């Protein structure tokens, strides 16, 4: 059984940000932020980056990112300097810490809502007087890295959690829209290679996350969805996947043609530029789901209870079809429910 959601919230409720301001030692002029996990996690952090920049326009705001997620913020206008943490080159970490300490940050903030000892240690040892993190209720040992903590909102959306942190740090403009700057060279490349045809709408379908069997809609259902949408007039479909998901794309070999084009991309900028050309983007819970929202493309997400509550794109232009599972399993969502909702969105 699946429940269809035709609208999500345009903004988070104000009560989501009911958090006491932190008693920092001084008004910071040098702020270090740390987020070293995945692409989707960094994308849902971008509203907090914007809110902090608006609150501290004269401050220096730097960010430590990892090899996995730094492309999200490579051109972000709210960051002064982007530091890179090489996740698999541990012997380089002391050198990074020495460079961070030399900047004499006054406030360091761990933006990870989970239990990352790596980001906690970076915050703890960077030399900042005020060290801030979320309360880590299931692993108390991580809390020792901070001298200030911000409580997580129970069952809160992850964008809300990030904006709670921004509010606790003194930000007031809490706009939940995600943000990604698409490089102009990526736009030109997509226009040259995949430019949409005049008078033809485009739907993007992301079939990736091959290793996440439970949270990824089955490939045979994606192919059935593609067949159904191919029957609509004046519509073309892009099947999107990353390099590790290329075996999944083989399922669409019989559907290839002028109206169905598989695209395997290893560039976040290229994927973002492709998503900009789509009227609608259909996906399970994934990094590209957040990327589509960040570039302003309407999404139809296939989610379960947990991923809907915490990760769905926010905004009236976004929709979701949910499974009855309260966790992450979306395999039971029927094709007909997704087809019906996609047709409704395309008619709107």
Rounded to 10 deg, the angle between the 287-294 and 268-276 helix axes is 50
Which of 168, 198, 215 corresponds to the end of one domain? 168
pLDDT digits (tens, 9 = 90+) for 37-81: 999 999 999 999 999 999 999 999 999 999 999 999 999 999 999
> In terms of domains, do 198 and 160 share one?
no
Q: What's the pLDDT score for residue 217?
A: 96
Q: The domain that contains 145 carries what CATH number?
A: 3.40.50.2000
Tell whether the model's pLDDT for residue 1 goes beyond 80: no
Q: How many domains does the chain have?
A: 2
Q: Identify whether residues 190 and 150 lie together within a single domain.
A: no
For residues 159 and 45, state if they share a domain.
Answer: yes
**pLDDT value of residue 7:** 44
Q: Exposed, middle or buried: residue 210 (CB in 10 Å: 0-12, 13-18, 19+)?
A: middle
Prediction pTM value: 0.94
Domain span at 220: 184-347
In a domain, 161, yes or no: yes
Cα–Cα separations (whole angstroms), residue 108 to 17, 22, 116, 256 = 21, 13, 15, 50
Does 146 share its domain with 199? no
Instruction: Kindly state whether residues 223 and 257 are assigned to the same domain.
Output: yes
Residues 188, 95 share a domain:
no
> 144 or 262: whose pLDDT is higher?
262
- Clarify whether residues 331 and 206 are in a common domain: yes
pLDDT digits (tens, 9 = 90+) for 160-216: 999 999 999 999 989 999 999 999 999 999 999 999 889 999 999 999 875 677 899
Question: Does 105 fall in a domain?
Answer: yes
For residue 177, tell me if it sits in a domain: no
Residue 7 lies in a domain: no
32 forms beta bridges with 62, 108
Q: Is residue 176 part of a domain?
A: no
* % of the chain surpassing 90 pLDDT: 81
Residues 123 and 205 in one domain: no
279: in domain: yes
Tell me the average pLDDT across 92-111: 96
Among 341, 290, 320, smallest CA distance to 162 is for: 290
- Rounded to the nearest integer, the mean pLDDT of the chain is 92
Residues 199 and 342 in one domain: yes
Which pLDDT score is estimated for 3?
54
Please say which residue of 168, 193, 217 terminates a domain: 168
- 322 burial (CB, 10 Å; 0-12 / 13-18 / 19+) is buried
Flag whether 4 is in a domain. no
Residues 154 and 216 in one domain: no
Indicate whether 96 and 239 sit together in one domain.
no
Whether residue 1 lies inside any domain: the answer is no
Alpha helices in 195-320 (DSSP H): 219-230, 246-249, 268-276, 287-294, 305-311
Give the residue-averaged pLDDT of 215-239.
Answer: 96
Question: Are 25 and 136 members of one domain?
Answer: yes
């Amino acid at each position: 059984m699946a429940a269809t959601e035709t609208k999500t919230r345009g903004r988070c409720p104000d009560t989501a940000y009911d958090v006491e301001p932190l008693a920092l030692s001084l008004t910071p002029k040098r702020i270090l932020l740390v987020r070293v996990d995945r692409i989707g996690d960094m994308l849902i952090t971008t509203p907090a980056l914007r809110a902090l920049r608006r609150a501290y326009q004269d401050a220096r705001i730097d960010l430590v990112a990892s090899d996995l997620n730094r492309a999200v913020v490579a051109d972000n206008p709210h960051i002064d300097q982007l530091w890179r943490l090489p996740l698999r080159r541990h012997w380089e970490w002391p050198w990074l810490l020495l460079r961070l300490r030399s900047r004499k940050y006054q406030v360091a903030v761990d933006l990870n809502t989970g239990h990352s000892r790596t980001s906690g240690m970076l915050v703890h040892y960077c030399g900042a007087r005020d060290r801030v993190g979320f309360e880590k209720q299931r692993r108390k040992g991580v809390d020792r890295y901070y001298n200030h903590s911000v409580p997580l909102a129970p069952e809160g959306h992850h964008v809300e959690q990030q904006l709670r942190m921004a509010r606790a740090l003194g930000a007031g403009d809490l706009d939940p829209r995600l943000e990604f700057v698409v490089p102009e060279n990526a736009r030109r490349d997509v226009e040259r290679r995949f430019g949409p045809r005049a008078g033809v709408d485009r739907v993007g379908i992301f079939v990736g996350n091959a290793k996440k069997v439970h949270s990824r809609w089955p490939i045979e259902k994606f192919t059935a969805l593609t067949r159904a949408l191919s029957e609509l007039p004046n519509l073309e479909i892009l099947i999107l996947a990353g390099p590790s998901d290329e075996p999944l794309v083989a399922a669409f070999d019989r559907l290839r043609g002028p109206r169905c084009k598989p695209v395997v991309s290893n560039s976040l900028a290229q994927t973002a530029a492709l998503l900009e050309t789509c009227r609608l983007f259909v996906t399970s819970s994934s990094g590209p789901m957040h990327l589509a929202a960040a570039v302003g493309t309407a999404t139809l997400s296939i989610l379960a209870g947990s991923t809907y509550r915490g990760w769905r794109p926010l905004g009236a232009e976004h929709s979701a079809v949910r499974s009855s599972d309260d966790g992450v399993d979306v395999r039971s969502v029927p094709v007909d429910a997704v087809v019906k909702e996609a047709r409704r969105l395309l008619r709107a």
